[in-house]
Amino acid sequence: MTVQDRWLDLRGLRFHYRDWGGKGAPMILLHGLASQSHIFDWVAPRLAEHFRVVALDQRGHGESGKPNAGYDFEHIVADLLAFLDALKFKRAILLGHSWGGNVALQFAAMHPTRAAALILLDGGFLDMQANPAMTWKRAEQQLAPPKLAGTPVEQFRSMLKSRRGAQWSVKFEQMVLYNFEILPDQTIRPHLSFEHHMKILRALWEQRPPRWYPQVQCPVLMLPAWSDSMDAHERAFLAAKRQNIAIARRLLAQSETVWFAHTVHDVPLQRPRKLANVITRFARNLSNQNRRRR
């Protein structure tokens, strides 16, 4: 399926998005923190067999504008609303990965008539402050991104290949490298600067998802992931994730949870076929329910 790279001027910024077409219900794919729209390159063509699929580079990311301000959820939700309006989508299914899930959640709570359904892909249900020990100072220290600017691109490629192992491919490498500019001296620089990354991280720390759950009127599909090899820190994080999902299920009006076992956080890269199948089944069930109500 052919994909088109497109640009829009919204709210004084230039936004890039990828458009796979399709004739079904509109579906907007929202990447995670420090990622970009290419992370959906394997799953989006499968989804476009059933939906009208676009993936947005959110502000500060990918090929979209990179202002010095506006990295709080209110600005980013307003960007998304302007994007729906520009594409003339009255309502859309929102698939948010990681931080993109938090964006989708707050959008659906603030604009309930514009979200047809939410798909929270290993994100959107993390409440950092639920753990009293997770002060901002601790979050700032533990979750700051590695400073990769200035790394030779060949060194970075070798690191990717060694970490991915048998699952490495040229396409995978290309999709990850879209997170960076490759400078004339053949070093990389993240599209999302360290300073902007930390502003978003602060917004994530401040956001309390349980506040927004009761305001979400549309059906929600939560797709958390867990991997096989976990250290003590990762096991504690998984336990917290389970608790947060239990809270979400209690407070959301309509939700379903499907766990992705033996899967890393970047589900669209590791399980694109299964991901597309689960989403398609969920959306078809919604369509059937809506038809029965008419």
Can you spell out the DSSP letters for 152-172? BHHHHHHHHHHHHGGG--HHH
> Shortest CA distance to 40 belongs to which of 61, 23, 14?
61
Q: What is the pLDDT of residue 250?
A: 97
Sequence-distant (≥ 6) Cβ neighbours of residue 78 within 8 angstroms: 11
Q: What is the pLDDT of residue 231?
A: 77
Surface-to-core class of residue 80, CB atoms within 10 Å of its CB (0-12 exposed, 13-18 middle, 19+ buried):
buried
d(CA 156, CA 161): 9
d(CA 163, CA 35): 18
| Cα–Cα distance list, 156 to 122, 153, 180 (Å) | 26, 5, 11
Q: What is the pLDDT of residue 167?
A: 74
Q: What is the pLDDT of residue 206?
A: 97
H-run or E-run covering 9 = strand 4-10
Q: What is the pLDDT of residue 74?
A: 98
Residues of the chain falling short of pLDDT 70: 166, 290-294
| Every domain of the chain and the residues it spans | 4-141+193-293
Sequence-distant (≥ 6) Cβ neighbours of residue 166 within 8 angstroms: none
Task: Specify the amino acid at residue 206.
Answer: E
Decide the pairing of beta strands 26-30 and 92-97. Answer: parallel
Q: What is the pLDDT of residue 121?
A: 98
The CATH number of domain 4-141+193-293 is 3.40.50.1820: yes
Q: What is the pLDDT of residue 291?
A: 62
Confidence (pTM): 0.95
Largest Cα–Cα separation, the chain: 61
Output the six-digit token pair for 59.
Answer: 């502000």
Model pLDDT for residues 37-74, shown as the tens digit of each residue:
999 999 999 999 999 999 999 999 999 999 999 999 99
The CA radius of gyration of the chain, in Å to the nearest whole number, is: 18
